[in-house]
Structure formats: structure tokens, C-alpha cells
């Protein structure tokens, strides 16, 4: 079965999909993107993802390529044509095609839009039950990590370092040891007195949509959650460390570099939040498409 992509108004086999050589997304990484988990054929946190996409567009002074209603119809069609039950859809919006020049092109240039889909979402439950290893890396990204830009070279280098170390993720930190997030996920810790801590949604991190939902779920469950910076030293002494993300869900961390976190087993709070988040996904209805 051929994967079907949407490219600037056309649905076509992904192997035949292409963008113009002077598309600014290709030449300048002048574009933004979103990845949305599809669970039981429905989008997870759709309204949040769409709001973040529009925020990123606004921060880069880019025009929206379509109304919320029109974009939703495109995404539903991509899910349908690719027969996605559990998977992801990827949306990329670039500023458009124009002769190569650093300054933005004129108002007549239309944004480019690409939507693709993949089957499969999240790691097997056995991975979460065992917990994962992370390495640490200096955060070398630009200063506007709150914009979901396609300029991801620093993230890719960090993720590659983790892969080479046979680790799940790279925990990013500033020169003073403050943990920002991970290469493709948000970072959390649980203090010895069971307070859940995650970096506030500033320009230093990408405000994860899963992160926001997990905060709501945790607070509704009676956990104390604080949004504040924390350090590597704190993380290494934490009761628990875990990650969240669109396809990460909630993932317990059991090792940072070569040192175990607490007793080296997945934390009970992280596992509880993972199950609560899975229950949230399993409870989605057709209203999940509402914005």
C-alpha cells in the first residue's frame, strides 16, 4: 500500500511527492511543523497542536495556509487515505517558493503545505515498564525553542549522540547545569518529597502539548506540580525522572549517563501518569477533531 501525502492542494503517493527547489523551507529552514498522534483513528490533543501551529506561524510572521476547518478536512482525509488507526500525522508549513534571498519575499508568495502520515505510535509498553537510559548534552539550540521550527540540526545531533550511546534520549542542559528539555521531548523530575517539577514554558523550551495535558492530569490526580527550572544535580538525586512527548507519552527514566536514578527502576508516579495519559487517549471521541 502506497503512503499518500498532501502537497499544496494535491493528494498523491508519497514517493511522487516533491517541493520546489527554491522552497524556503528547503533553503533556509524557513518553516514550522507539528506532529500529531492518531489513536484509534482520532487525533490526540488536536486543538492544542493547532493552536501551537498558529502561534509558531505568527511568531515567524507567516500566513496561515488554510482555515482551521479546511486544514482539519485535509488531515482527516490523510488519516482516511492512509488507513491510520494508531500512528502520526506530520504537518509542515514553509514560507513558500521565491528566488533565494535572506529577506522575506513579497506578500504574493503562498505558504507551502505538506502533510504526511505514518503507522505506529509510541514505544511498546515493555519499554516503559523497564524504563529508559538518557545521556546528557549541552543545549546548543537557538534562543527561540518555543517556536516549532524545522531547523532541528542541534536536536538531531543530540539525538544521534544518544543513539550512539544506546540511550533513549539526550537530556539537554545549559552551561550552568540547568536542564531545559530533551532532544525530542520534555523533561521532568520528582523531588524526594514527591513534588513533580518541569521547566516552565519559556523561550528556552518547546511548550509540549503532551506536557500541558500531563500537568492537568497530574494536578487532577492530586499531585503537586511546579513549573520551575531544575539542574542536572537535582535530577541525579531525584526520586524519579521521566519524559513526555507526542509519541513518548510518559516515559520513566532509570539511568542518566552511567548513574541510576534512585533505585534504578521506573518510578511509581511516572508509571501512574503514563496509565492515566493512556486512559485519556483511549477515551477520545469524534469531538477530538473540534477546535
Given the residues 148, 159, 166, 194, the one annotated as active site: 148
CB neighbours of 109 closer than 8 A, spacing ≥ 6?
Answer: 95, 96, 97, 98
Return the closest-CA partner of residue 244 out of 171, 188, 201: 188
Q: Are strands 224-227 and 195-198 parallel, antiparallel or unpaired?
A: parallel
Is residue 275 a contact partner of residue 229, using CB atoms and an 8 Å limit? Answer: no
Active site residue 148: yes
Active site residues: 148
Amino acid at each position: 500500500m502506497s503512503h499518500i501525502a498532501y502537497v499544496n492542494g494535491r493528494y498523491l503517493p508519497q514517493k511522487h511527492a516533491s517541493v520546489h527547489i527554491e522552497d524556503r523551507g528547503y533553503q533556509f529552514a524557513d518553516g514550522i511543523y507539528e506532529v500529531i498522534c492518531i489513536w484509534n483513528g482520532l487525533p490526540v490533543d488536536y486543538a492544542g497542536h493547532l493552536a501551537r501551529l498558529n502561534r509558531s506561524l505568527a511568531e515567524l510572521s507567516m500566513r496561515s495556509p488554510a482555515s482551521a476547518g479546511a486544514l482539519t478536512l485535509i488531515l482527516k482525509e490523510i488519516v482516511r487515505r492512509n488507513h491510520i488507526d494508531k500512528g502520526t500525522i506530520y504537518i509542515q508549513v514553509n514560507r513558500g517558493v521565491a528566488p533565494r534571498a535572506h529577506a522575506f519575499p513579497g506578500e504574493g508568495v503562498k505558504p507551502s503545505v505538506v502533510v504526511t502520515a505514518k503507522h505506529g505510535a509510541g514505544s511498546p509498553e515493555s519499554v516503559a515498564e523497564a524504563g529508559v537510559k538518557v545521556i546528557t548534552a549541552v543545549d546548543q539550540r537557538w534562543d527561540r525553542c518555543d517556536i516549532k521550527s524545522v531547523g532541528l540540526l542541534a536536536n538531531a545531533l543530540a539525538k544521534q549522540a544518544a543513539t550512539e550511546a544506546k540511550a533513549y534520549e539526550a537530556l539537554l542542559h545549559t552551561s550552568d547545569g540547568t536542564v531545559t528539555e530533551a532532544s525530542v521531548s520534555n523533561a521532568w523530575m520528582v523531588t524526594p518529597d514527591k513534588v513533580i517539577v518541569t521547566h516552565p514554558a519559556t523561550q528556552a523550551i518547546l511548550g509540549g502539548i503532551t506536557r500541558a495535558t500531563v500537568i492537568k492530569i497530574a494536578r487532577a490526580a492530586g499531585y503537586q506540580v511546579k513549573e520551575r527550572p531544575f539542574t542536572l544535580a537535582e535530577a541525579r538525586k531525584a526520586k524519579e525522572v521521566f519524559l513526555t512527548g507526542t509519541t513518548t507519552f510518559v516515559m520513566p527514566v532509570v539511568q542518566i549517563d552511567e548513574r541510576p536514578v534512585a533505585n534504578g527502576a521506573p518510578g511509581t508516579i511516572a508509571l501512574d501518569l503514563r496509565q492515566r495519559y493512556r486512559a485519556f487517549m483511549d477515551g477520545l471521541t469524534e469531538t477530538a477533531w473540534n477546535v
